[in-house]
């Protein structure tokens, strides 16, 4: 099977509990950011769902198999666009891995329609991974990073 337009290796395959679809994580040897592609198992057809900029991400399917949770950073931006978006002075631009975000993607939709589930702008170095409980009723969010104590929102 050849995937056109991205990478040169399959990094990981994530199966559903009752396999109808699987997620294929693609990436080249030169990158730590990946592309997720959805494939129908029955006929090995690649769906149009393609997700970019996935990094430091677990994958957890929804209980109804209509979608999945994944994590990513925003695409890197350069020059004046970066300075404007970041509200920082020109000359201090960086494409560091900051502002990790947890999303929900529903099959058959574009990545631009994904639902932002969690981010923590007060702690831009933290990363987040979502896991759906076995009964499908809850989403646990695992946060990791540079913690200086614990905070609980009620």
> 8: phi > 0 → left, psi -120 to 50 → alpha, else beta; which?
alpha
Q: Measured between alpha carbons, how far apart are the two ends of the chain, in Å?
A: 48
Q: Are 15 and 51 in contact (CB under 8 A)?
A: no
For CA atoms 22, 27, 31, 33, give the dihedral sign: negative
Burial of 135 by CB count in 10 Å (0-12 exposed, 13-18 middle, 19+ buried)?
exposed
Q: How far, in Å, CA of 73 to CA of 2, rounded?
A: 26
pTM of the model: 0.73
pLDDT tens-digit readout, 104-142: 999 999 999 999 999 999 988 899 999 999 888 999 998
Q: How far, in Å, CA of 36 to CA of 96, rounded?
A: 21
Lowest mean pLDDT, pick from 12-21, 67-76, 89-98 = 89-98
pLDDT tens-digit readout, 60-74: 989 888 999 999 988
pLDDT, residue 112, reads: 93
Q: How far, in Å, CA of 126 to CA of 148, rounded?
A: 12
pLDDT, residue 110, reads: 94
Helix, strand or coil, per DSSP, at residue 111 = helix
Backbone angles phi, psi at 103, to 5 degrees: -125, 160
- Contacts with 88 (C-beta within 8 Å, 6 or more apart), sequence order: none
């Amino acid at each position: 099977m050849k995937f056109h337009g991205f990478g040169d290796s399959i990094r990981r395959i994530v199966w559903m509990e009752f396999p109808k679809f699987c997620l294929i994580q693609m990436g080249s040897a030169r990158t730590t950011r990946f592309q997720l592609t959805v494939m129908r198992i029955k006929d090995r057809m690649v769906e149009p769902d393609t997700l970019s900029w996935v990094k430091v991400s677990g994958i957890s399917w929804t209980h109804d198999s209509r979608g999945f949770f994944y994590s990513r950073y925003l695409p890197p931006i350069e020059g004046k666009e970066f300075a404007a978006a970041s509200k920082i002075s020109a000359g201090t631009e960086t494409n560091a891995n900051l502002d990790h975000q947890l999303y929900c993607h529903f099959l058959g939709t574009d990545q631009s329609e994904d639902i932002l589930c969690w981010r923590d702008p007060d702690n831009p170095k933290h990363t987040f991974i979502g896991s759906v409980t076995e009964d499908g009723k809850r989403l646990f969010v695992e946060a990791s990073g540079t913690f200086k104590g614990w905070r609980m929102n009620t």
